[in-house]
Amino acid sequence: MMTTYTCAYCGEINDLFIDPSGGDHQEFIEDCQICCRPNLLKMTGNAEADVFTVTAEVEG
Ligand SMILES: [Zn+2]
């Protein structure tokens, strides 16, 4: 499913694809599409309800 997150560095909105088969709690690094810096994304959600929350943090 597609969602968005706000870059922890530049504040721009990024599109993000989440693979629900990866589980209801996922952490991964995604480079910002605008400033190219690595965001640590923490996703929590409920695949059955199709509800996901993504927070972006400065990596490291
Ligand atoms: Zn950025």
pTM for the predicted model, two decimal places: 0.85
Dist. CA 48 → ligand 1 center (Å): 30
Q: How high is the pLDDT of residue 52?
A: 85
Identify the H or E element spanning 26. Answer: strand 25-31
By residue count, the chain amounts to 60
Dist. CA 13 → ligand 1 center (Å): 8
- The domain spans of the chain are 2-58
Dist. CA 40 → ligand 1 center (Å): 12
Closest CA to 50 of 12, 24, 11, 31: 24
Q: How high is the pLDDT of residue 49?
A: 80
Dist. CA 14 → ligand 1 center (Å): 8
Taking the chain (60 residues) in runs of 10, the rounded mean pLDDT of each run is: 94 93 92 97 86 90
Q: How far is CA 2 from CA 50, 51, 53, 59, 60, in A?
A: 11, 11, 12, 22, 25
Dist. CA 9 → ligand 1 center (Å): 5
Please state, as a whole number, how many other Cβ atoms lie within 10 Å of the Cβ of residue 52: 17
Q: How high is the pLDDT of residue 5?
A: 96
